[in-house]
Chain A
């Protein structure tokens, strides 16, 4: 179960996408999620799909990783798609039963929403797979910098994010361990009705919470012992370099946006 959730994992590499500045990648992903709503016909979706697949190809990471990224969310996606299909009215109606209508528009909408979800997951997975969590938080910190004016603790947010991301695999491993330990004592996961299943979660959640508190305490002590006294007066080991490659990436995004505007209805 844990292996399927690949969000937050980073795959080291030296591809073109890997070498992009994290700010460029983060901005790009945000832009992509924004402009995906411009797409409203098959040409525009095709354009986005080609773009996403092209980016994936450039990253030298197997497509199966991305498909695995979609898998845990597939039920949510299908649920939304089904709702969309069943409750969208239109001119060409295939099936009509009270409030439930299956129309041509509904079906097309459903397909589009499916594509939209998958594309967003592909692109955000691409971001996390090719960007080190710390670079990503560096990028977030950089992009949030203007908010310092209104007293947003930008540095602290970035630190929390980087620690959270760094602990994702650790906590996953721990969850797996606790689950196996509870299994060994006879707890059944994923069996019985919904209430029994929810009850079976408790023996995982509580130890996980408690151990997270302990971890937090120990980490805070270790950080303090190493001289951490807040964001003020710190220097940075990691430096972000915006090079021509990153400008090119941004130009590609601009072209993509123009393309979408041209091709949309």
Chain B
């Protein structure tokens, strides 16, 4: 805006076009991740490609959910973003950098990843050592590290478990430690690669609430790969993958309005949708568009009070 006023003073006539230019530029700045026609196959002999010509862009501060069946390429897609997998075709841009051999470590600093199995990503012998692992890798000075480890552990509410070993923690607690490990690195992007799939409903909710809170505070971009309906409902945008291709894209409301087709996409039905289809089976006329639980309650009481 300061730039704009400067220019505006000089060339008042071109104000509008300038404004448009700047706005467009800001938009492209906001796009923190851009994938251009990414393809990948695990083995050269594979008939099917794990990723087939995928293009997408993600804006800063967005919460993206990627859904799809097992083997639809969701995890592969996530791994291309921080260079764990080098796509055979296409271009990955993260935070303005085009992913290449030279800047791969810079990009990994920007992207934090939490994986599915809480046991297999726990490197340290205790909670605090594990959280510190990433900081050690970046060569952060020790005093700084102690402070960051502590604040990250406090953020995920694990401060009573600093000295505990992984064998003494529950799955949900281990997953929160994994999140703390990522948070301590202060990335701009967090990728949850089915991070809640091995947890019980309570652990799942705790982990999601933690991520949500951290996201709000630090304006993070979150990409969550999931089969969990609640996790997907949290998102600003849902991407649907099928056979390595991006087949659908839309807000949760749009995606959830597909109703029964959701199961084919690898998601469960939201509770309101289940209720709707049960009501439909009993001959009650229900609205076609997606309703949240609150919306459903509203619709139900309006329906009944009309009668």
Contact = CB atoms under 8 A, between A and B. Distances in A.
A84 B108 CA distance: 60
B105 A229 contact: yes
A233 B149 CA distance: 19
22 contacts: A10-B165, A132-B165, A162-B125, A166-B124, A166-B165, A169-B167, A173-B167, A219-B120, A222-B120, A222-B123, A225-B108, A225-B112, A225-B115, A226-B108, A226-B123, A226-B181, A229-B105, A229-B137, A235-B135, A235-B140, A235-B142, A237-B145
Interface residues of B, number: 42
A28 B218 CA distance: 48
Interface string B118-134: 01111111101100111
Contacts of A170: 119, 166-167
Contact of B137 (A169, A227, A238): A227
Given A132-B126, A235-B140, A235-B145, A227 B134 contact: yes
A233 B137 CA distance: 7
A122 to B, nearest CB: 23
Given A223-B133, A228-B137, A235-B145, 9 more contacts: A162-B125, A166-B122, A218-B115, A222-B121, A223-B123, A227-B138, A233-B139, A237-B129, A237-B149
A148 interface: no
Contact of B166 (A12, A166, A215, A228): A166
Interface string B133-165: 111111111100110010000000000000101
Interface of A: 10, 12, 132-134, 162-163, 165-166, 169-170, 173, 214-215, 218-219, 221-229, 233-239
B141 to A, nearest CB: 6
Contacts of A165: 125
Contacts, number: 100
A226 B133 contact: yes
B82 interface: yes
Contacts of A235: 135-136, 139-142, 145
Contacts of A225: 82, 84, 108, 111-113, 115
Nearest to A232: B139
Contacts of A236: 136, 142
Contacts of A233: 139
A72 to B, nearest CB: 19
In the complex, the 3 A-B pairs of residues with the closest C-beta atoms, listed nearest first: A222-B121, A237-B132, A134-B125
A222 B115 contact: yes
Contacts of A237: 128-129, 132-133, 135-136, 142, 145-146, 149
Contacts of A226: 108, 112-113, 123, 133-134, 137, 181-182, 185
Given A169-B167, A227-B138, A238-B129, A218 B121 contact: yes
B2 to A, nearest CB: 36
Contacts of B120: 214-215, 218-219, 222
A48 B109 CA distance: 53
Contacts of B123: 163, 166, 219, 222-223, 226
